[in-house]
Structure 1
Amino acid sequence: MPIVSRRRFVVGNAIVFLLTLVAVSAFAGQTPKARTSMLVTADWLSQHINDPSLIVLHVGDKAGFDEGHIPGAQYIQTSDLSTPKGEGLTLEMPPLDDLKATLERFGISDNSTIMVYFGKDWVSPTARVLLTLDYVGLGDRASMLDGGMPAWIAAGGTLSKDGRTPTPGSLHLHPNTDIVVKYDWVRSHLADERVAIVDSRTPEFYSGNKPGMMPRAGHIPGAISIPFNSLGDSLNRVSDAASLRKIFDDAGISSDKTVVTYCHIGQQASFGYFIAKYVGYDVRLYDGSFEEWSRNPELPVVNPSEQPTKE
């Protein structure tokens, strides 16, 4: 190859390399797009409440449901979608066949749209129901009512005391089971800089000042504290995506990381999961959470409350 042609070839390749590097860097620095369809407003619900494909699920205490609920809603508990407590951990995903049967009993079919809301302030149990829907592959067709039933009432929505017995649904699952991880996955990623482990419990449990009825107090090594109750306002409404993303940014969690949430038993972490997904992160949930982790003496725990204070 002539010298001039060789130089052009080298320069050309260098330019292509630099442009590729810039493109990759730009992509890595992009702000993830918020998944806004995960939240709906009372106004949206008022426009769609009579849609034949809409399934409305009420999460809260049964007495509150009986006193009044959004018209057409069905009462659901997290226990409907978890293994019995006698089988080990408090709140674990049951087999897919069991979930399928339960969801069909609520009238959920392949063409259903599901909207879940809390009666009072049961935000994390509501998020747990939504996590389960995501787990079985219905996440793209499920949403939370922002602000729950209080927001519906404030917008002028009426309540009903009527019960509803739905026609059983027909559902073909497309499981998304990778979103729930086990302790061995977490242990193998403790030193992985691409993974951010988020502790969704309130600070006194993260610090070890309160054990929370666990065998050991403290938190998983390297975990970052983002309490679940810091992700909504006093009316349990979700802030705009930019404000929520700033919470993660300020905690040092860049947009290219995989977020893994945990808490006591996997319920508060479900709201952390919901918000992390909402703002655009790739996210998982450690279902056994600290209940399982603290029981296993082979798994490390950091307890700041036991560390000597500096004088």
Structure 2
Amino acid sequence: MRALLALGGNAMTSPDGRARPEDQIAAAETAMEAVADLVAAGVDVVVTHGNGPQVGNLLVKNELAAAVVPPVPLDWCGAQTQATLGFVLMDALDAALARRGVARRSAAVVTRTLVDADDAGFRTPTKPIGRYLPAEEARLLVDHGETWQDRGAKGWRRVVASPEPLEVVDAPAVHALVVAGFVVIANGGGGIPVVRRDDGTLTGVEAVIDKDLGAALLARSITVDVLVIATDVSHAVLRFGTPEATPVGRVTVGEMRALAAEGHFASGSMGPKVDAACRFVEQGGGRAAITSLAHIVEAVTGDPTGGAGTVVVPN
């Protein structure tokens, strides 16, 4: 069996949201224990991960240093965090596998994802990133070519495009490593967004790709059997936050799309996860699960007792 595990950004920080190096290392060690259990059970695993807190840290450094050095572009921030988190996750996974006596090696691939240069998001950026700043501080970053919006009393906040992912450029490398027996960490943060120039070459762009949609695209590209989106809750929930809240168990993709159309899943949180799970199944994937890190083994193995979280299957 081949599985792709998409770790949410919370899986790479402390429970209270801190992202100091020691917090990230500890969180990686916890996450990789579950991955090692899957590998020990004979599953071929590919891991993707969020990078929002890590990119956020780099953006703060950009802001503080903007009067001294030019800000690092957002695609560079994605590449840097992919490499750093890949290194941290590899160390944690290698140690977890060694404790189980499993002789499997890991590899991290700094991964690019193709987007359309004409995507509407580039004309009207709407994805907020980073922290709020006073107008005078934001103005310096606008002078460096960034787009910032006045958000009223909170201050100014940067906005970027969030284009549709079209192709994981480096999926063939990921696939080759999986076939060669590696546990692969790839496409962190949805991938580094790139566009194709008129001459066919690629160049990075300032954008943020939804990490869950990027995970679904990679899963289809390397033909995995199951996509597991790990988050901080055990299930997607209907009527979330109300006394009538109900967890969603096993559903067909048609049923899940109907529930999404009724407005049950917020666009800024569970909505993209539900969309990614549905896309994977609609385009030929066996099943997709949304669950907590503690239940990923059951999600991959198809535990029928309900511990697998929200499981989306073909109609």
Q: TM-score range by the shorter chain?
A: under 0.3
Q: Which has the larger radius of gyration?
A: 1
Structure with higher strand content: 2
The normalised TM-score by structure 2 is 0.23
TM-score (norm 1): 0.23
